[in-house]
A and B are shown apart, each in its own frame.
Chain A
Amino acid sequence: DTEVTQTPKHLVMGMTNKKSLKCEQHMGHRAMYWYKQKAKKPPELMFVYSYEKLSINESVPSRFSPECPNSSLLNLHLHALQPEDSALYLCASSQGPGLTNYGYTFGSGTRLTVV
């Protein structure tokens, strides 16, 4: 299995809802990432997990809460989002922190719309 699987592919949520995005990989990668991509812009880093521990939080608002329950799974919990949070949320993984030479793989993303 050489894929990063993200679910759901599309999500519409109200500003008072709580939802979660899920990312899964079974390549044995020990670093996992969340990126946010607005239309016609490059992805922006949100969080990095290294060996299941949060190693980078790029000053992301607390309404986004990441979780890494095990080495294969990465979640992003969403609560009280704003319409400007609507974007494509991309998950990625690599063999390990600092080892961007090997196996950097992206998921197909979750298209989030906040209404």
Chain B
Amino acid sequence: KNEVEQSPQNLTAQEGEFITINCSYSVGISALHWLQQHPGGGIVSLFMLSSGKKKHGRLIATINIQEKHSSLHITASHPRDSAVYICAVPGGGGSQGNLIFGKGTKLSVKP
């Protein structure tokens, strides 16, 4: 079973700062998901990536398949970015479609 580790668990930043959240996993995968969850809310898929780098607005996600590591970056952070960010990888050998989740990184951006 894949083990997913995220760091840091909690992160407080000032508005405008550059944010990095890290994710590592133990078993090779075909794709990795970055997800966002606001307090009390549902989950929004930010990125699915299998190699290299993806960018969407102020969010950038990178993955190094060989090192089994991914990072999520937020440039020019804003208080509305405050949320839990979750890294997830396919579970069940990738054959059943379910995801295995990291414990999440709680980000708080202060104005």
Contacts and interface: CB of A to CB of B under 8 A. Distances in A.
A55 B44 contact: no
Given A100-B90, A105-B45, A33 B40 contact: no
Interface string A90-115: 10101011111110111111010000
A43 interface: yes
Interface in A48-97: 48, 50, 55-56, 88, 90, 92, 94, 96-97
A31 interface: yes
A68 to B, nearest CB: 14
A101 B97 contact: no
25 contacts: A6-B42, A42-B86, A42-B101, A43-B99, A45-B91, A48-B96, A48-B98, A50-B97, A55-B96, A56-B96, A56-B98, A92-B99, A97-B96, A98-B96, A100-B30, A100-B90, A100-B94, A101-B48, A105-B45, A106-B35, A106-B42, A106-B43, A108-B42, A109-B41, A109-B42
